[in-house]
Amino acid sequence: MDRFIDAAVEQFARSHTEPETDLYVRLREETYRVMQWPEMQVDVIEGRFLQMLVRLSGAKSILELGMFTGYSALMMAEALPDDGHLISCEIDGKAEAIARRYFAESPHGDKITIRMGAALDTIKTLAGPLDLVFIDADKVNYSNYYEACLPLLKSGGLIIADNVLWSGKVVDPKDADDHAIVAFNRLVQSDPRVENVCLTVRDGMMLAWRRS
Ligand SMILES: C[S@@+](CC[C@H](N)C(=O)[O-])C[C@H]1O[C@@H](n2cnc3c(N)ncnc32)[C@H](O)[C@@H]1O
């Protein structure tokens, strides 16, 4: 993933962000040691930002599409109240096994339910209402995830999508993933059901707030 921000400036921002606790440091190190695409994991700035959004929105019901080894799920779960709940979707059993170990270690892990299988199939089984959705799975399905989740989202709920600037490839799209991310951004931007902001945090984050 290409960086938009100068590495030294990003390091400054990281050093002025609530630091990772030991569990997240170990989760990150293990992910980088054993997983093929470890940079898929959110970093501490994005993780803390997701956590802040959960706290500020008062979300109690979260759906995550794309759990990987569990970093973002656990960050968000930490900010949920005791009766809050997060469902996280994943297809990779190796990532799941790592996530399960770290969830078991955390006092917040029992707020998370892992649903293995294609996320679109899992969404079909959910009734809602959801307070917050974090889209971070396969890019070609971003628009499908958005359309499937929006009806389940409460008024005033938030959809957050990661990687919406796609290392800058959105300005000169070439392959299917590039075009899918461009189409997703266009879909949200033209959707009267939401208010949205496209942020340059890390690889780009789209926030779409559902109007009443
Ligand atoms: C970018 S990573 C998620 C990173 C994670 N949010 C984190 O911060 O650690 C995307 C994940 O989506 C999963 N994935 C891809 N296609 C999927 C699908 N159709 N349904 C569910 N998960 C999928 C991949 O296996 C991968 O682990």
Mind listing the pLDDT tens digit for each residue in 45-88? 999 999 999 999 999 999 999 999 999 999 999 999 999 999 99
Our answer on whether the CB atom of 40 is closer than 6 Å to any ligand 1 atom is yes
In angstroms, what CA-CA distances link 120 with 22, 65, 117, 131? 34, 9, 9, 18
Distance 84 CA to ligand 1 centre (A): 22
Contact 18, 26 (CB under 8 A): no
pLDDT tops 80 at residue 208: yes
Please report where in the chains the tokens 């969830």 appear, as a residue: 103
Alpha-carbon dihedral angle through residues 80, 119, 66, 90, given to the nearest 10 degrees: 100
Reported as a single tens digit per residue, the pLDDT across 7-56 is 999 999 999 999 999 999 999 999 999 999 999 999 999 999 999 999 99
The closest-lying atom of ligand 1 relative to the alpha carbon of residue 92 is 25
Ligand 1 atom 26: residue of nearest CA: 68
Separation CA 128–CA 48 (nearest Å): 25
ω into 107 cis (within 30 of 0): no
Reported as a single tens digit per residue, the pLDDT across 146-190 is 999 999 999 999 999 999 999 999 999 999 999 999 999 999 999
Ligand 1 atom 7: residue of nearest CA: 41
Alpha-carbon dihedral angle through residues 37, 39, 40, 41, given to the nearest 10 degrees: 120
The closest-lying atom of ligand 1 relative to the alpha carbon of residue 118 is 20
How would residue 4 be classed by pLDDT, with cut points 50, 70 and 90?
confident
pLDDT of residue 1: 64
In angstroms, what CA-CA distances link 4 with 8, 74, 81, 131, 162? 12, 26, 34, 30, 15
